[in-house]
Amino acid sequence: MTGRVLACLECGAPLLVCVQARGFCDARCRAAWNNRRKLRGAELYDLYMAHRWERAEAAGLGVFQAINRLASEYRAEDRAQREGRRSWRRPGDVLAERPYLKSIKTQVRGGR
């Protein structure tokens, strides 16, 4: 036991042991967390896909700088509205749910 108190990812309230695995105090906090991620993700999606697949145009338009600016704005919102609490899941947790992302990709005909 580390003595660390686990808190709701959304509101920061300490979580009872019985709900710590869920990460949220209630459905409202879970929905708020996921809705913010959906909105932010939707803003980033088109820019990131262009950065990855339309590189020349994206570079000319400064797409990666725009992606970084959005991330900075999101972090500023977190600091102002969420008392600085992190608004993203830990990458190790995300990758643990998707082990195929760490596997060696076989060459797909026509793929890049």
CB of 71 to Zn ion, least distance (A): 24
Residue 3 tokens read as: 């003595």
Q: Does 58 bind Zn ion (CB under 5 A)?
A: no
- Which member of 3, 6, 11, 87 binds Zn ion (CB under 5 A)? 11
End-to-end distance of the chain based on CA atoms, in angstroms? Answer: 47
**Residue 6 or 13: which CB sits closer to Zn ion?**
13
- With a CB cutoff of 8 Å and minimum separation 6, the contacts of 88 are 37
Query: Binding residues for Zn ion, per CB under 5 A?
Result: 8, 10-11, 13, 25, 29
